[in-house]
Amino acid sequence: MNTEIQDKFKNYLEIQRELVEARKKQTEQKKQLKALEDEIMNYMNANEMDSIVLKEGEIILYDRKVSQTFKKETIAEKLSEKLKCDEQKAEELTESIFSNKVFKLEKKIKANIKRSKKQL
């Protein structure tokens, strides 16, 4: 194997290692952010505030509409209700929908990085 390709392999593994560390740091920061958000939200709710203006920016408390994921039971129930069909037929339609889900395969590469002794 030539040194040029070996350098590419080493570079690839080093970038993967850096990304792992960045993800760990991001996870910690998200935990800290969530804790701060909870505290700020509780403070704003307790003081009936919908926004706080600071020199650095503004914090706004708002409602966000979040749609729920579809469950098999819900789909079967709605099919039965809307199509005026029996529950068994609705179950069959639901199973057909879920069993005909299409998956796309694509080639990727993955790095399994060996941990150095100082990381353990």
Residue by residue, DSSP assigns 39-106 as HHHHHHHHTT-SEEEETTEEEE------PPPP-HHHHHHHHHHHHT--HHHHHHHHHHHHHT------
Grouped pLDDT means (10 residues each) for the chain, 120 residues: 90 94 96 91 89 86 76 80 77 81 70 64
Query: Residue 78's domain spans which residues?
Result: 67-99
Say yes or no: 6 and 55 in one domain.
yes
Question: Structure tokens of 31?
Answer: 């935990």
Q: What is the pTM of this model?
A: 0.57
pLDDT score, position 118: 60
Say yes or no: 79 and 92 in one domain.
yes
Say yes or no: 71 and 47 in one domain.
no
pLDDT score, position 117: 63
> Rounded distance, CA 37 to CA 41, Å?
6
Question: Structure tokens of 56?
Answer: 């650095």
